[in-house]
Chains A and B, each alone.
Chain A
Amino acid sequence: MGKGNKQYDTVIGLEVHIELATETKIFCGCSTKFGALPNTQTCPVCTGMPGSLPVLNQKVVEYAMALGLATNCRINRRTLFDRKNYFYPDNPQNYQISQLYAPVCQDGKLEIEVTAGAGKDVESGDGGKNTGTKKRKTIRIHEMHMEEDAGKLTHDEAAGISLVDYNRSGVPLIEIVSEPDMENAEEVIAYLEKLRMLCLYLGISDCKLQEGSMRVDVNLSVKEAGSDVLGTRTEMKNLNSFKAISRAIGTERERQIALLENGKAVEQETRRWDDAAGVSYSMRSKEDSKDYRYFPEPDVPPVLIDREWIEAIRSRQPEFQEEKSIRFVREYGIPAYDADILTQSKHLAALFEETAKVSGQPKKTANWFMGELLRLLKEAGKEPEELSFTPKHAADLIVAVEEGKINQANAKEVFARVVSEDAEPLSYMEQHGLLSLTDEGALQTAIDEVLAENPAIVEEFRGGKEKVFGFLVGQVMKKTKGKADPGTVNGLLRKSLESL
């Protein structure tokens, strides 16, 4: 894409911060609940009061180990915390307790699926949702470490002040550092989605980019195509959506190529993405020192992880997507394609499985989920994780349809109610008069009335005009207020016409 003849490869590595869904902070017993009033969820420890000491939350180590095992990392048997020293008001001690010298997990990998043969220059802005043949690619994970989150700053430009709230200070984070194995936005997003899926399956984080429980820094450099020499990389921050990530990658690649083409050098620096403007800015400042003076945190002794502990965590690992998908095909006889999609979300998979079990109709359940449910989600712009209906309600509806208690069109309406407000389908159908008219006597009466009211049409039919049959069916449906099952109406009506 450079204006010269040179072709460039993009080299991307990611640093992903995941906010862990623990009850308490990493080093103190304060709640991590989101949205509390300023500084209410604080104590001497997470506000850096003199004399306070950190005590490590066991859950944080276990969550890190679980994610490490899920990504084939080596778990360090002795893991250490280090202090990263820098002055900033959101960091109450003016050092962050993190891990540098002996992180909890190292040397893992994540398999992603990307479009085969996608051009290296293609930076699709659509979130990488390409169709086409897929190929697998392995992204290596350099390490994972545990650390504490910082407080929240809000700025009052006019007054020239910043306000500090330490509720978030000390919320546990895991940082996952990949090797520079990605080449384009599609791969980056596939990697992030895979990581997010693992975290959701493990239940260790809700991984929401918009809310900051998943934060992505993109390290990007370009090099001449085919060259072994890596270029100078930049680190991009403030990427709050997959779309922003995609755009930032494209823009930064262009910026670096333009520099090189003009004989300038790329500077190693941290840049901040401005999504509204579609550009990034250097974050350098004179008072910022890059010298973090890391040293072993003396207040947190080494964490010793023995084999039994690792095995205990391993034994508690959930069934992940691939296994679950295979099992769904085997146990429920649903198509592999359906199983793959239904298991992309652990929550969706659980809803499916429970509904299938209760209804005893796994294939019908899969149809309802693949068709109606996914359509409804897309319409509402929601994630599967946000679904909160009772599987029995969905199952009751599916059974009702199978028993002919409600026709398909009405069932869709009820299903939407089940999904949106967890409606109890049978009472809903009753209240809204949606139950099918299954009483053949009543139905026959309606048919007889329609035939009596439309002698001319009946004559046309008898004269061989088959297409008026549909009109008569419609009239019967109208008379029964849509409660009749169209199939039954068809049969009875034809019989009545023939016997006239």
Chain B
Amino acid sequence: MIEQMDALTLSEKIKKGTLGVAEAVGYYRDQIERKDGELKAFLTLAEGGLQERIAELQEGIRSGQYTGPLAGVPVAIKDNICTKGLRTSCASKMLENFIPSYDATVIQRLRDAGMLVLGKTNMDEFAMGSTSETSSFQITKNPWNPEYVPGGSSGGSAVAVAAGMAPLALGSDTGGSIRQPASFCGVVGLLPTYGRVSRYGLVAYASSLDQIGPMGRTVAECRALYEAIAGYDEKDGTSVPGTVRCLGKMRKMTATEYDGLSREEKQKRCMERIKGMRIGIPKEYLQAEMNGEVRDAIKNTATLLEQQGAIVEEMSLPLTEYGVATYYLLACAEASSNLSRFDGGKYGKRVEEKELHAMYKKSRTEGFGEETKRRILLGSFILSEGYYDAYYLKALKVKRLIKEEYENAFRTYDCLLTPVAPGTAPKLSTSLQNPLQMYLGDVDTVAVNLAGLPAISVPCGMDQKGLPFGVQFIGNAFCEQLLFDVAEAYEELRGVFPTVGERMTGNGKAGER
């Protein structure tokens, strides 16, 4: 049964010929049909050219053109990643009818690796939000309990994976937008190092912080998807050239040696890698007022890792409390400029007016939602004459201090272990009344973006309400593989995490998947 298969197994079966691409796609389309009426994760499904693409893939796999670990696998794509010929709305009325004439680089890479776009997922408008509720079109529900938010801004992608409507998804993370919904929905999500994955075709929210990353049920699946999309892109000036790879302080191995290993060997290796690894737990992350269950879970995680020979110790990152303020100043400032291109002239919503600036004003006022407008106004103000130094420049300076604080920490530690968010998912429509309160919920994730580091969110436990939460491993720049190794080892130690399907239908027991 496809529902019991991870994406890697699915691809293997397709490559062996025991399963057809059409069958796999049909299965997920059927899941969407059955579940998405309630969950509302998808905004647009791939239709035009889908059958041709399926046929082309099937033939390419048969002829040996597509041999990658995810060949034949359908992927859900966050709706701020441009897909040629397929509506890309950023969940905004502004782009309600926008059909790009170009693919994002990550989409091109998915296609080159034999994958296929299943559909586009809901999100906070222009990725501005932490609940996916600022979408102009629909409210996505948490599959574990539809009265709760899925997190955001990549909520649709997290739900698509968690509810088994897609085996894998791409999200984007500017201040936690992959990791937090992954945590709230019980899936794995990676924020890659800034510059590791091309941003070409990702509709910019805050350019100096945005990154695209993979979301999946298991670490191994995310690793495979990450490997398909990562690497230098000449279309993105901030993309990092070459194949910089950090495999951690322990057991140095060349990238080629590493790539040569089989999946089982990699897994085995992961457990070995933990031995002697130094893992820091920044105490400031635990002090933030938060759910006692999450705090206990971090401690349990530490114990599990220690039992395998890791050296886990509490340490301090005193600047943690300045992360949210720094993040919002910089993100809003950049957003105010990035979103100025939406003016009704070239694409997107237009309200006809005789006078040019009236046309701009009306089109933007009607096209953007509340939260987006709030951040644009704030950003314009932050950059304006007389306030630039006090707010924007100050934030850039603190950003450097935060980055240096992490650099220092990684002189001692291989990675850091923290919560992903101060708690589990909040109830629907409780967050937007108090924007500042919502912003403060990003305390565990934003500093990582400011420092440009990679981090992975891995499902860890359930709270009393039956809502999942994850733990976060933060790595040094370009240490994605080390993070995957630690996360995969942790995944083994933790045991199989329950899936929504089992919970929703009551079939099967956790740990026996």
Q: Which residues of A contact B (CB under 8 A)?
A: 44, 47-56, 83, 85, 87, 89, 92-95, 160, 162, 164, 287, 291, 293-295, 298-301
Contacts and interface: CB of A to CB of B under 8 A. Distances in A.
A298 B200 CA distance: 13
Interface of B: 80-82, 88, 90, 95, 98, 100-102, 104, 199-204, 206-208, 234-238, 333-334, 336-337, 340-343, 345-347, 354, 356-357, 360, 380, 383-385, 388, 392
B237 A44 contact: no
Contacts of A48: 341, 346
9 contacts: A50-B88, A51-B88, A53-B236, A83-B337, A89-B345, A164-B345, A299-B204, A299-B207, A301-B238
B237 A56 contact: yes
A299 B202 contact: no
A85 B383 contact: yes
A160 B206 CA distance: 36
Contact of B340 (A51, A95, A291, A300): A95
Nearest to B210: A298
Given A298-B208, A299-B207, A49 B102 contact: yes
Given A49-B102, A93-B340, A287-B357, A54 B237 contact: yes
The 4 A-B residue pairs with the shortest CB-CB distance in the complex, in nearest-first order: A293-B383, A94-B340, A298-B208, A298-B207
Given A83-B337, A287-B357, A53 B200 contact: yes
Interface of A is mostly: loop
A186 B109 CA distance: 60
A293 B383 CA distance: 5
Most A CB contacts (10 A, CB to CB) among B81, B90, B237 go to B237
Given A51-B199, A295-B334, 20 more contacts: A44-B100, A51-B80, A51-B88, A51-B102, A55-B236, A89-B343, A89-B345, A89-B356, A92-B341, A92-B346, A94-B341, A162-B356, A293-B336, A293-B380, A293-B384, A295-B333, A295-B337, A295-B388, A299-B204, A299-B207
B200 A299 contact: no
A140 to B, nearest CB: 27
A83 B385 CA distance: 14
Given A49-B102, A55-B234, A85 B337 contact: yes
A44 B235 CA distance: 11
**Most chain-B Cβ atoms within 10 A of its Cβ — which of A55, A85, A92, A295?**
A295
A399 B98 CA distance: 70
A293 B102 CA distance: 30
Given A89-B356, A295-B392, A300-B237, A51 B341 contact: no
B383 A51 contact: no
Nearest to A299: B207
Contacts of B102: 44, 49, 51-52
Given A85-B340, A95-B337, A164-B345, A301 B357 contact: no
B200 A51 contact: yes
A97 to B, nearest CB: 11
Given A83-B337, A87-B360, A291-B385, A51 B204 contact: yes
A350 to B, nearest CB: 37
B200 A52 contact: yes
Nearest to A95: B337
Nearest to B236: A53
Nearest to B360: A87
A160 to B, nearest CB: 6
B237 A93 contact: no
Contacts of B199: 51, 53
Contacts of B236: 53, 55
Contacts of B208: 298
Contacts of B345: 89, 164
B383 A50 contact: no
A162 B343 CA distance: 15
B237 A160 contact: no
Contacts of B206: 298
A49 B100 contact: yes
A85 B67 CA distance: 47
Contacts of A83: 337
Contacts of B342: 50
With a 10 A CB-CB cut-off, give which of A54, A87, A93, A300 has the most chain B CB atoms: A87
Contacts of B203: 50-51
B61 to A, nearest CB: 29
A53 B235 contact: yes
B341 A291 contact: no
